[in-house]
Amino acid sequence: MITRRRWLTGSAGALMLGAMPIGRGADAVEPGGAAADEVLIALSGKKPLIKRSFRPPNFETPLADLRRPFTANDAFFVRYHLAGIPEIEPRTWRLRVGGASVSRPMELSLGDLKRGFERIDLPAVNQCAGNRRGLFAPRVPGVQWGNGAMGHAMWSGVRLRDVLRKCGLHSDALEVVFDGADVAALPQTPDFQKSLPMDRALDENTLIAFAMNARPLPHFNGAPARLIVPGWTGTYWVKHLTDIRVQPQPFDGFWMKAAYRIPTGAFPGARFVSQETPETTPITQILVNSLVTNPAPHTRLVRHRPAELSGWAWDGGTGISSVEVSTDAGLSWRPMTLEKDLGRFAWRGFRVALDTSRPGPLALAVRATSRGGERQPEKLTVNPAGYHDNRILSLALEVA
């Protein structure tokens, strides 16, 4: 099944096509930025992305590549916890589905998935739970992401629930556990496995995907098949999927019991009751958020020349109801024009004309509100792992 496994090292080997430094400029995040200097590196099959770590590979999408309605496959961010990245031959790949809470364990090929189940196309944002961690102050440990540990794609595959039901689910089924083919460089490193509660696993929008933007999944985005959990943070979107196990008890693996947890009650979002403790709970839903993609921070606008502010807003699945802009440090807000609604898990475009009649600094702020009534907050909710930075971000421009 796995024909070759790539071990990323610090050397400039076959995975790196080219690298170049970029200073803090047009694509820097505001406020504060994640790093004073950033490096763009091209992995195999990818255009140059911002390197956050090389082993395991964690690469961020530059702001310029987030301007399209659908993030290009070769620009989509890369997130791994383990350094052994599998190269899997699609023709020999197999997905094992079983566990104590199913009657008929089975093994599926890629052809079995494509021929045996209804194909679903779903636009959805994939966002790392630690997106914008690099903006935390004081700094917290973890990959120091800016705004680009996220992307929006059209995912194509089959419903997970259709596969599970074909196996014959028992009434005691509590969680579904997922494992991929990536492995750790050191034996003491825990395997990356995640679980979902049964209601989320059986949701009609949870997919086993084999295509992204109408093309086979890229190598560094989970080929040949991965889990898609729209509306939930990317930690659940297991790549290079090989095993699915349905079980009657809570999964006690490291990446559920110890990692990707937030203080209980600190944030809104779906609960994961079987994994909760009085102190912490697993991170689940994406919070309402927005990102200005044009103009870039610190852009100099030409006086009297028409200019427009635009970007994207998204949430965990209710959809976006409004996006507003402020030009007076948040004292007043006015609505912006919303673009076409592509779906509840998709991001939604917004735009507004900018006033370039007077020279000088132009300080802007943008906030989004979801159909569920959730609005971006002004302040960061500090937490030890640096998750859920969805506060309103400012944008500094200049008219000259």
Tokens standing for 363? 């300080």
Residues with Cβ within 8 Å of residue 187, at least 6 apart in sequence: none
C-alpha 284 chain-centroid distance: 12
Q: Residue 338 corresponds to which tokens in the numbers above? A: 């919303």
**57, two tokens:** 């590979």
Rounded (10°) CA dihedral 325, 326, 329, 330: -80
Q: Is 107 exposed, middle or buried (0-12, 13-18, 19+ CB in 10 A)?
A: exposed
d(CA 80, CA 182): 9
Which position has the token pair 């796995």?
Answer: 2
Q: Which residues pair with 88 in a beta bridge?
A: 2
Confidence of residue 30 (pLDDT cuts 50, 70, 90): low
- Report residue 59's pLDDT band, with 50, 70 and 90 as the boundaries: very high
Mean pLDDT across the chain = 92
Cα separation, 38 vs 59, whole angstroms: 11
pLDDT band at 194 (very low <50, low <70, confident <90, very high): very high
CB-based contact 315:288 (threshold 8 Å): yes
Burial of residue 277 (CB within 10 Å: 0-12, 13-18, 19+) is exposed
The answer to whether 202 and 161 have CB atoms below 8 angstroms apart is yes
Q: Residue 393: which pLDDT band, with cuts at 50, 70 and 90? A: confident
Task: Say if CB 349 and CB 312 are below 8 A apart.
Answer: yes
Which of 27, 100, 95, 93 has its CA nearest to residue 64? 27
* Interatomic CA distance for residues 68 and 54, integer angstroms: 26
Which residue type occupies 273? Answer: V
pLDDT band per the 50, 70, 90 thresholds, residue 249: very high
How many Å apart are CA 336 and CA 315, to the nearest integer?
17
Q: Which of 294, 286, 303, 292 is nearest to 344 (CA)?
A: 286
CA nearest neighbour of 212 among 339, 8, 56, 46 = 46
Q: Which domains does the chain have, with CATH numbers?
A: 18-80 (no CATH), 87-282 (3.90.420.10), 289-399 (2.60.40.650)
Half-sphere exposure of 128 (CA within 13 A, CB side): 27
pLDDT, one tens digit per residue, over 73-114 is 999 999 999 999 989 999 999 999 999 999 999 999 999 999
Residues counted in the chain = 400
Interatomic CA distance for residues 147 and 135, integer angstroms? 9
For residue 9, pLDDT over 80 is answered with no
Q: What percent of the chain has pLDDT over 90?
A: 89
Q: At 41, which helix (H) or strand (E)?
A: strand 37-41
Q: Which candidate, 65, 26, 33, places its Cα nearest to that of 49?
A: 65
pLDDT in tens, 298-324: 999 999 999 999 999 999 999 999 999
Stretch among 4-8, 143-147, 247-251 having the lowest mean pLDDT:
4-8
